[in-house]
């Protein structure tokens, strides 16, 4: 007979070793899975805490920046009011203060932040606010450059006076015959309100059968070829047929809106300055609105527990 005890013991030993390895491997896998699960949970918790912390810091930063924005808003309002008043002017003092305001956001203010605690709309609002604030401060710098120095300020002051004159002054054209042709001369014009008695008399002359009170009275105007110069009286043309016989007796009103580019050439510099101000004021309104929404949306994140 063949003694197979040694073989059986060998096989048994290998089977036992195999079981032990299988058990150990399974244990290791289970341990790794548990460890990974615990580690993953802890990592998520850490990421969440960091996101909440970043949210609180961003909320605090927006609160800080909002103070600078509110200060800038008041200064912009002053410059707009000065440029749009009865006697328009450049508020250089307010502009200097705007230029001196420190830019509230740095270049990498929100770099490497976690936004998991934020909604998508909040992230969009944040970067829209960030962009608008920087554009505002760029505008302040540009405004300061355009109003810096005595020469630039003097030119703007003269242009502002011209703009004021364009608004408050009426212009007309008086015709004069030159040979067989007519030429028009630009004049300053002041329309005169008709006196009641004169209006009635004129109505009787022009009424052609109508009662005086029903006929349109002639409108007279004083004209001068220079501002503050000697004035003469002319009749404002409103369709009178006799203009062909005596055109020099009439003055034709000029449409200032259509002729603004020519009449107001000296006022163009101030007009451009005022347009820049209005654009800056519009962006300021947009920024303040975004600031309000952002502060409201960030408040719940600031109240979260880490």
**What does the DSSP assignment read for 199-224?**
HHHHHHHHSTTS-GGGSPPP-EEEEE
| Higher local confidence (pLDDT), 30 or 135 | 135
Q: Is residue 29 very low, low, confident or very high in pLDDT (cuts 50, 70, 90)? A: low
* pLDDT computed for residue 206 by the predictor: 53
Provide mean pLDDT across the span 31-59: 62
Mean pLDDT of the chain: 77
Look at the chain and report how many structural domains it folds into. 2
Residue 277 and residue 130 share a domain: yes
Residue 142 and residue 173 share a domain: no
Residue 250 and residue 151 share a domain: no
- pLDDT, tens only, 273-295: 888 999 999 999 999 999 999 88
Residue 277 and residue 156 share a domain: yes
* pLDDT computed for residue 201 by the predictor: 57
Domain containing 86 equals 47-164+265-302
Q: Is residue 264 very low, low, confident or very high in pLDDT (cuts 50, 70, 90)? A: low
Residue 176 and residue 280 share a domain: no
- pLDDT, tens only, 242-253: 887 888 889 998
pLDDT surpasses 70 at 5: no
Residue whose structure tokens are 């920087």: 134
The torsion angle over the Cα atoms of residues 38, 39, 45 and 49, rounded to 10 degrees, is: 150
Strand 181-192 relative to strand 220-224, pairing: antiparallel
Q: Is residue 51 part of a domain?
A: yes
Residue 156 and residue 56 share a domain: yes
Residue 250 and residue 173 share a domain: yes
Q: What is the pTM of this model?
A: 0.58
């Amino acid at each position: 007979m063949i003694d197979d005890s040694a073989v059986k013991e060998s096989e048994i030993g290998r089977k036992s070793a195999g079981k032990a390895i299988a058990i150990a491997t399974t244990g290791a896998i289970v341990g790794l899975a548990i460890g990974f699960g615990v580690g993953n949970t802890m990592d998520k918790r850490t990421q969440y805490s960091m996101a909440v912390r970043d949210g609180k810091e961003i909320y605090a930063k927006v609160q800080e920046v909002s103070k600078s924005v509110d200060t800038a808003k008041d200064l912009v309002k002053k410059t707009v009011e000065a440029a749009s008043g009865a006697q328009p002017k450049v508020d250089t003092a307010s502009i200097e203060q705007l230029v001196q305001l420190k830019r509230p956001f740095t270049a990498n203010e929100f770099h490497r932040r976690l936004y998991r605690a934020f909604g998508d709309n909040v992230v969009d609002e944040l970067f829209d606010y960030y962009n608008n604030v920087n554009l505002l401060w760029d505008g302040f710098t540009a405004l300061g450059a355009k109003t810096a120095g005595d020469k630039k300020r003097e030119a703007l002051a003269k242009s502002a006076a011209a703009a004021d004159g364009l608004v408050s002054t009426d212009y007309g054209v008086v015709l004069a015959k030159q040979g067989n042709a007519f030429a028009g001369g630009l004049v300053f014009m002041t329309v005169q309100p008709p006196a009641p008695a004169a209006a009635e008399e004129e109505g009787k002359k022009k009424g052609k059968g109508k009662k005086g009170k029903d006929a349109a009275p002639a409108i007279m105007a004083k004209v001068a070829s220079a501002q503050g110069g000697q004035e003469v009286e002319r009749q404002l043309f409103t369709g009178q047929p006799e203009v062909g016989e005596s055109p020099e007796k009439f003055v034709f009103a000029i449409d200032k809106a259509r002729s603004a580019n020519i009449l107001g050439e000296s006022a163009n510099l101030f007009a451009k300055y005022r347009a820049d101000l209005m654009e800056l004021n519009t962006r300021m309104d947009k920024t303040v609105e975004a600031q309000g929404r952002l502060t409201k949306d960030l408040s719940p994140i600031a109240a979260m527990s880490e």
